C-alpha cells in the first residue's frame, strides 16, 4: 500500500488541463515520492482512496477531484488506471466536523502527525491511498 498527503488545492476533472495539469502532476509525484519508496509501478488489481479535507470550502465535487489524481499517477504508482477496481472518494469539512471520529489506526505515527498538522495549518489537504485490491472490499449496506 502507498499513501501520501497533498497540501494544496485539488483540481477538478474539468479544470485539469494544460499547464495546470503539468504543475499538478509535479506536485502529486513529489508528494508520492516524499512519503513512499517506489521501485516500480504496482501490478495487478488495485483499490484507490481519496479523502479531501478542507478548512476553506470550494464547493468541489469529490468524485471530480479524484480522477485527475489517478490520471497523474498512471505510469508511476501503477501502469494504468484500469487496474483500479474500486475507488472511494470522500470530503470532510474540518470547520464543521470533529476529525477525532476518523479512524487513523492503519497509519504510521509520523504520518498521522503530518496529517493532523496539515488539518490545523492548511486550507486544503488531500489524502491519497492505493493498494492491492481484495474482493472483500466490495461491500453492500455499509451503514
CA 126/CA 26 separation, integer angstroms? 15
DSSP state of 143: -
The enclosing H or E element of 72 equals helix 62-73
Q: Answer whether residue 143 is part of any domain.
A: no
Which residue range is the domain that position 18 belongs to? 2-137
Q: Answer whether residue 34 is part of any domain.
A: yes
- The CA radius of gyration of the chain, in Å to the nearest whole number, is 15
The Cβ of residue 12 has, within 10 Å, a number of other Cβ atoms equal to 16
CA 79/CA 3 separation, integer angstroms? 17
- Overall domain count for the chain: 1
Domain with 31 in it: what CATH number? 3.30.1330.70
Strand partners, 31: none
Q: What is the largest CA-CA distance in the chain?
A: 41
pLDDT per residue as tens, the chain (143 positions): 999 999 988 876 556 667 777 888 899 999 999 999 877 899 999 999 999 999 988 777 787 888 889 988 999 999 998 999 999 999 999 998 778 888 999 899 899 999 999 999 999 999 999 999 999 998 898 88
Q: What is the pTM of this model?
A: 0.91
Amino acid at each position: 500500500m502507498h499513501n501520501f498527503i497533498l497540501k494544496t488545492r485539488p483540481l477538478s476533472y474539468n479544470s485539469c488541463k494544460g499547464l495546470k495539469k503539468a504543475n499538478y502532476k509535479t506536485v502529486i509525484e513529489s508528494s508520492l515520492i516524499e512519503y513512499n519508496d517506489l521501485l516500480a509501478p504496482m501490478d495487478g488489481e488495485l483499490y484507490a482512496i481519496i479523502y479531501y479535507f478542507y478548512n476553506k470550502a470550494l464547493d468541489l465535487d469529490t468524485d471530480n477531484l479524484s480522477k485527475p489524481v489517478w490520471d497523474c499517477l498512471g505510469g508511476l504508482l501503477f501502469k494504468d488506471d484500469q487496474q483500479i477496481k474500486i475507488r472511494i472518494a470522500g470530503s470532510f469539512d474540518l470547520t464543521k466536523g470533529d476529525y477525532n471520529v476518523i479512524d487513523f489506526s492503519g497509519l504510521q505515527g509520523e504520518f498521522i502527525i503530518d496529517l493532523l498538522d496539515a488539518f490545523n495549518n492548511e486550507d486544503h489537504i488531500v489524502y491519497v491511498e492505493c493498494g492491492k485490491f481484495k474482493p472483500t472490499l466490495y461491500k453492500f449496506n455499509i451503514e
